[in-house]
Amino acid sequence: MYSFPDRSTAGALLAEALADVPADIVLALPRGGVAVGAVVARALGVPLDVLVTRKLGHPMQPELGLGAIAEGGDPVYDHTMLRRTGIRERDLADVVAAERAELARRVAAYRGEKALPDLGGRDVIVVDDGLATGGTARAALRAVRARKPHHLTLAVPVGAAAAVRMLQREADEVVTVAAPEEFGSVGSWYERFEQLTDDETRACLRSV
């Protein structure tokens, strides 16, 4: 199985795949996506900013994703998982409230008091370090789409083929270096996959 040595190498390969894609700004999903996005933004010569997302987990099993939320957007639920678990949207009200609070904390940590840049009429590339189910990326794309970009691209070094196909309905274009049918976890496609701290995330943002 192919794997990337680290996020920087993955970002360089992704930037090559994006060479002909229109780009005015890169929005990276923290934290890991910022390390990839910084390399992409430098290579393409465009600004970098964050688009903060949070998974909406099962109340009793937080690691089980039932949806996601992105800054400036409404919750986006995985209705297949809701049916499978018997959870209703209203049952997640406390989860949504908690994740909105954490989302706001992270926005303040990464961008301070600055607002998300105006995306209207711009060519926007949303970057993450990988796609497993695609839930958080879908929430991110819908939040960006609501801001009326000219062209919206999702770019990831590696994504599960099923997630890539699903997200092709949300973005104008989805660009990957690899899109395997058999996926596993995002981390399994990297030799080094340490979790970034807030300080490391801010350093990546300052590097562009």
- Encode pLDDT of 21-47 as tens digits: 999 999 999 999 999 999 999 999 999
Cα dist from 31 to 37, 64, 83, 88, 127, whole Å = 10, 19, 30, 29, 11
User: pTM here?
Assistant: 0.93
The residue assigned the tokens 């996506």 is: 33
Lowest mean pLDDT among 6-15, 107-116, 134-143, 157-166: 107-116
Task: Give the burial string for 122-140 (b: 16+ CB within 10 Å, else e).
Answer: bbbbbbbbbbbbbbbbbbb
Q: What integer is the mean pLDDT of 76-81?
A: 92
- Residue 184 is predicted with a pLDDT of 87
Confidence of residue 123 (pLDDT cuts 50, 70, 90): very high
Domains and CATH numbers, the chain: 7-52+120-206 (3.40.50.2020), 54-109 (3.30.1310)
pLDDT score of 1 more than 70: no
The CA-based angle 194-196-199, given to 5 degrees, is: 145
Confidence of residue 112 (pLDDT cuts 50, 70, 90): confident
Mean pLDDT score of the chain, rounded to an integer?
A: 94
Q: What integer is the mean pLDDT of 52-67?
A: 92
Q: What integer is the mean pLDDT of 65-83?
A: 92
- Residue 84 is predicted with a pLDDT of 93
- Residue 63 is predicted with a pLDDT of 86
